Amino acid sequence: MSKCFDVAVVGGGIVGCATARALRRVVPALNVGLLEKEERVGAHQSGHNSGVVHMGLYYKPGSLKAKLCLQGAHKAFDYFKQNNIPFRRCGKLVVAVDNSEVPRLHQLYENSVTNGVPDVRLVGPEEISRIEPNCRGVEAIHSPWTSIVDWGQVTGVYAAEFTANGGTILTGFPVDSISMRPWENEQFPLRIASKRCGGEVRARYLITCGGLHSDRLSVMTGGSEQPKIIPFRGEYLVLDRSYSELIKGNIYPVPAPGGATFLGVHFTPRMDGSIWLGPNAVLAAKREGYTHSDVDLSDVTETLCYPGFLRLVSRSLGQGVEELVSSFLTGRQVKKLQRYVPSLPKHAVRKGPAGVRAQAVWGDGSLVDDFVFDNGGAAFDDRVIHVRNAPSPGATSSLAIANHLVYKMRDQFHI
């Protein structure tokens, strides 16, 4: 017999776990099920990220990212304290290393002020050196509230709270099809099936938080394939622990002009005391492709046949080649990092872990630069909400995104 839920949430990453938790808290009468294709929650983006609690510096004023990041950060700090989750407020410097970057830095600062980033300020070379003694730059933005945490641990706490409050988690349940079958079950018309486990789930309503597979889940309900997910692997370097004192907090670059594919290399302290450097951004040959040897020909074909990817490549070919070369030649990445910390020794840097970012791309080749939520095709409009794009600062924003989705569901579906 099929399991039946009032609301099924597909995707056990941090956004899915936060959303399932919020549904049980806001509407306790709902029977909520969380479906995860892996054997544990937080197995992909939620457990393979830099661990930064962002404060909303980078995002366009008025955007969902700007609004939900700051809301989410404040909610996250409260949640960490209430649940004894360790975190560290180590701050962030966004550093202009030469005068050509200063106008972009000032624009970023204006965005930060408009977005309400707390205690953000511009600092000169002497103050940069006081905050980060080994960092060099002509000017920087200082965000003292930027923090670090283990987002994988946070995801696990969300999931544990959800089940403690009566929620159900089904792991090892990769979704292969979503269909409307009211003639089979009028009360629970949505059928969510998995070939791997040979099972199905019935639901009244559905929220998908599929991360690297968000576009595919949308297509299953008659939604648009756009924006398409293009997987980019971010490969980190790790600083030898004997040199950890070189870095006190987060050091970030000024975003490149014209909207580069990713933010650029940066320095990130971790909760375990290590320092991560990077990442780069290399096209992955598999949606969960954490190494060069991870290849899925169907994923590769899907990427290469997407017009938006071809248009993105035509605009960013030089950057893409540089990222690929840097993937093999660690010294090239170290040179970029030494622009900010000249004393960084090459011999103290080694290859580290990698994550895969679900980069959403429109058909014209432009990158999706905000959170995107939509419904399915016509037959699913009053039953389904899809999270189509929630990369960084998705983890920071997770509690705010969850509330946004719950109230969106209540408004649209009147539950």
Q: How far is it, in rounded angstroms, from Cα 390 to Cα 229?
A: 11
DSSP state, 48? S
Q: Is the pLDDT of residue 19 over 90?
A: yes
Is the Cα dihedral 371, 157, 269, 106 positive or negative?
positive
Q: Which residues pair with 3 in a beta bridge?
A: 201
pLDDT at position 260 over 60: no
Helices (H) and strands (E) in the chain, counts: 10, 20
Task: With cut-offs at 50, 70 and 90, classify the pLDDT of residue 262.
Answer: low
In three-state form (DSSP H/G/I as H, E/B as E, the rest C), the secondary structure along 89-106 is: CCCEEEEECCHHHHHHHH
Give the start-end residues of each E strand in 185-312.
190-194, 199-208, 228-239, 250-253, 266-269, 275-278, 282-283
Q: Render the burial of 297-308: b for 16+ CB within 10 Å, e for the rest.
A: eebeebbeebeb
State the pLDDT at residue 256.
83
Residue 370 token pair:
């905000």
pLDDT for 239 equals: 97
CB proximity list for 379: less than 8 A, separation 6 or greater: 180, 221, 222
Query: Which three-class secondary structure state does DSSP give residue 58?
Result: coil
Say if CB 121 and CB 241 are below 8 A apart. Answer: no
- Reading the block at residue 136, the tokens are 């060099």
Query: Is 377:221 a contact under the CB 8 Å cutoff?
Result: yes
Q: Once rounded to an integer, what is the mean pLDDT over residues 340-358?
A: 96
Question: Is the pLDDT reported for residue 317 higher than 90?
Answer: no
Q: Which positions ≥6 away from 236 have C-beta within 8 Å?
A: 50, 276, 277, 278, 279, 352, 353, 354, 355
pLDDT at 259 over 60: no
Rounded mean pLDDT, 318-344 = 87
Asked if the model's pLDDT at residue 75 lies above 60, the reply is: yes
Write a three-state SS string for 370-390. CCEEECCCHHHCCCEEEEEEC
Q: Which residues of 223-240 are buried (b: 16+ CB within 10 A; e: fewer)?
A: beebbbbbbbbbbbbbbe
What is the average pLDDT score of the chain? 94
Cα–Cα distance for residue pair 340/163, rounded to 1 Å: 45
Residue 105 clears pLDDT 70, i.e. is over it: yes
What is the DSSP code (8-state) at residue 169? E
Per-residue pLDDT tens over the stretch 132-176: 999 999 999 999 999 999 999 999 999 999 999 999 999 999 999
pTM: 0.95
Which residue type does 184 have?
Answer: E
pLDDT of residue 329: 79
User: What pLDDT, on a 0 to 100 scale, did the predictor assign at position 322?
Assistant: 78
* 45-71 tens-digit pLDDT: 999 999 999 999 999 999 999 999 999
Residue 11 has pLDDT above 70, yes or no: yes
- Work out the pLDDT band at 326, boundaries 50, 70, 90: confident
User: Cβ–Cβ contacts within 10 Å for residue 260, how many?
Assistant: 14
C-beta separation of 229 from 287 below 8 A? yes
**Tokens of residue 124, six digits:** 């000169």
CA–CA distance, 215 with 203 (Å, rounded to integer) = 20
* Residue with tokens 């991870």, as numbered in its chain: 294
Radius of gyration from C-alpha coordinates of the chain: 21
Whether the CB-CB separation of 31 and 5 falls below 8 Å is answered with yes
Give me the residue label for tokens 């004023």: 61
DSSP-H helix ranges across 224-306: 297-304
Q: Which residues contact 382 (CB under 8 A, 6 or more apart)?
A: 412, 413
